[in-house]
């Protein structure tokens, strides 16, 4: 019998000084059985970095050809495609053909360096693409904040993110690998 997704509830307060975006979001996250706490929390971080009223989580790991997060306009047209992790270069190029903006939020330490070395030349030619890296110590610290119900505050300013859960805080210095 296949395992079912685990449901997590997140009350996320976002203060993005760079975009002048300040809002609270009540998120319901379905974590696939094969997904780690670290990856799920990097998805939450990706939400905080791109927070918008129309931003939503995708269908999950088991659904191919779907972003981890996407933003659609009021007509349902895709505005932004966001992948978390180290996606296949062909999938990223395909996403760039489907959405005006594509973001990749990479994490995994040394694996990010190896992935970027392998895809850099082809992805640098994609004008719609932005790629950032979450340092490994920060992504692991985010994973330790995971709980079935979470109340998080995320403050974003000039490439720095602070995620606080009331008891602990995680400071994240994002690394820009490619900007739009």
CATH code for the domain in which residue 89 is found: 3.10.640.10
Number of independent structural domains in the chain: 1
In this structure, are residues 156 and 17 in contact, taking their beta carbons and an 8 Å threshold? yes
Q: Residue 158: inside a domain, yes or no?
A: yes
Print the domain residue range for 132. Answer: 6-178
The predicted pLDDT at position 40 comes to 96
Q: Residue 160: inside a domain, yes or no?
A: yes
The predicted pLDDT at position 3 comes to 78
The predicted pLDDT at position 93 comes to 96
User: pTM for the full model?
Assistant: 0.94
Q: Residue 113: inside a domain, yes or no?
A: yes
pLDDT band, residue 166 (cuts 50/70/90): confident
Q: Residue 90: inside a domain, yes or no?
A: yes
pLDDT band, residue 61 (cuts 50/70/90): low
Q: Which two tokens stand for residue 119?
A: 């895809």
Helix axes 110-123, 89-98, angle to 10 degrees: 50
Q: Which residues contact 45 (CB under 8 A, 6 or more apart)?
A: 105, 134, 142, 154, 161, 163, 172
In this structure, are residues 14 and 25 in contact, taking their beta carbons and an 8 Å threshold? yes
The predicted pLDDT at position 63 comes to 57
CA 139 to chain centroid, in Å, comes to 11
Task: Say yes or no to pLDDT of 1 above 60.
Answer: no
The string of pLDDT tens digits covering residues 100-157 is 999 999 999 999 999 999 999 999 999 999 999 999 999 999 999 999 999 999 999 9
The string of pLDDT tens digits covering residues 67-101 is 999 999 999 999 999 999 999 999 999 999 999 99
Question: Strand order in 6-16's β-sheet?
Answer: 21-31, 6-16, 149-157, 160-164, 169-173
């Amino acid at each position: 019998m296949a395992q079912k997704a685990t449901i997590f509830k997140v009350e996320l307060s976002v203060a993005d000084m760079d975009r002048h975006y300040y809002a609270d979001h009540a998120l319901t996250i379905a974590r696939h059985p094969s997904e780690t706490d670290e990856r799920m929390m990097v998805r939450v971080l990706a939400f905080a970095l791109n927070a918008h009223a129309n931003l939503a989580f995708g269908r999950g790991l088991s659904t191919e050809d779907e972003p981890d997060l996407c933003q659609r306009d009021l007509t349902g047209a895709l505005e932004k495609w966001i992948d978390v992790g180290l996606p296949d270069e062909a999938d990223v190029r395909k996403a760039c053909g489907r959405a005006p903006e594509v973001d990749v939020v990479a994490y995994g330490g040394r694996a990010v360096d190896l992935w970027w070395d392998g895809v850099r030349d082809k992805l640098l030619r994609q004008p719609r693409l932005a790629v950032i890296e979450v340092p490994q110590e920060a992504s692991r610290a985010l994973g330790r904040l995971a709980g079935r119900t979470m109340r998080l505050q995320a403050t974003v300013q000039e490439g720095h993110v602070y995620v606080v859960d009331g008891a602990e805080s995680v400071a994240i210095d994002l690394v820009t690998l490619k900007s739009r």
